[in-house]
Structure formats: C-alpha cells, structure tokens
Structure 1
C-alpha cells in the first residue's frame, strides 16, 4: 500500500511538472506573438512616418522637380504634379534600390504625363541631385520631342 501511494505521488508530481511546462511554453509563445505584433505595427507606423516626411520634403522642393521636368524640352511651359500618384518602390538592375516616383502633367494637358524617380539614401533622405526621368514625357501617348 505504501508503495502504491509512493507511485501515485510520483505520478502526480510528474503530471504537474508536465502541465507546468506546457503552460510555460504556451505563455512564452503568446508573449512572442505579442512582441512580433508590436514590432511589426511599430515598424509599419515608422515606415508611414518616414514616407510622410519624404512627401513633405518633396512638396517643399516642388520647384526643383518642376524645373527639372521643364529642362527636358523647350515645349514645356508649365508642369503640374499629381501628389496623389506618388509611389515608393524598389528597383531592379537599372534603378536605385529604393526610390520615390512622382508623376504629373505638362502644359495643363489632361492627356499628358511624365514621371520622375528620386533615389532614397540609406538614411531615408531623398537625393534630388540624382533624380531622373523614370517615365517619358508624352502627350496623348506620343513622346514629346
């Protein structure tokens, strides 16, 4: 009888130990998931804040973009920027790794278009000195000569 009680105590201790281990593992997994969620949402918020700073910076330097597009052809009298079409991307072999693309029209012609790509430096600043025409200037689908 004493041996049976001893075995029962050992079995209960074993079951309690396993239960505690399973509970601890579940708790650690939950903490890890919460940490990942906080990290990913914080990172997403940080990225959005960076994008807003970059967009604000570009709007403050709108004249430089307008002058750059105008310099492409003497036929360009005015440049309109469509800020709602601004995009962030990463390129391939022929473009910088990260860049912003700004789009617009010329001479108040609805069926015109152009695109300028602006490299983003490692510190998330924009390099206006190296902007380039990413989408050819066209009117009604024909390249501006």
Structure 2
C-alpha cells in the first residue's frame, strides 16, 4: 500500500444545521472501486476531543479497517456517534491508504456526516476534496 489520501481535519458540529436540534449521529465513508481489478485500502479515522488553546489533545483512532473491493463494487463504512467514537465539537480526520489515486485507477472515497439522511455540509467530502499525503 503506497498511496495515502486524507480529508484533513474537520470539526463535528453539535447540530446538523442552525435550525434544528438534530445532533450529528453518524459518519458514512463510501468506497467505490471503478477499476477492472480488486483493490484494497486501509481506512482510519482519528479523533481529537474537545480542547482549547493552550490545552492540547492527543488523537485516538476510532476506526482502523482493511477493505478489499472487487471490480465495480461499492461499500459503506458507518460510524455511529457515541462516547467511544465521536461527538459534537470533536475534530476528525479520515485517511485512506492503499489502492487510491486521483485518476480513478484505484478506490474512490466520499464522506457524509449527518442525521437521518440530512447532511451536515461541513462533513460532506467528495473524492476530489481529499488531499494526497506526502510522507517523505
């Protein structure tokens, strides 16, 4: 596994929008293999709990999943909000390492955070929103 992309850090809002009291209750990570060969990636989600400067927070891994997708197949990883996963005001970062790239030669990724099918705009990422990680 050589390629790695990341969402970069993003905040989980307390509520899905400014007009409701619906908390963010899930993070969905969609994976699509548009190629003609089986592809494999490792998906990790890191969390930093509430902190304000000058305080700092260590990150913890709330998901570490190896996913192998046959040609032209899809799957979705789901993380439900909770005390051992994530809550509002936490920071998250999604990393996908392995058979991924920008030219559709590997697995494509999309993120969706929200409640009951209603998205939280700050937690919606299309594949092209991810950035490549240079680990040199």
TM superposition score normalised by structure 1:
0.25
Q: Which has the higher contact order (CA 8 A, sep 6+)?
A: 2
Determine which structure has more spread, i.e. the larger CA radius of gyration: 1
> More strand per residue: 1 or 2?
2
TM-score by length of 2: 0.26
Greater helix percent: which structure? 1
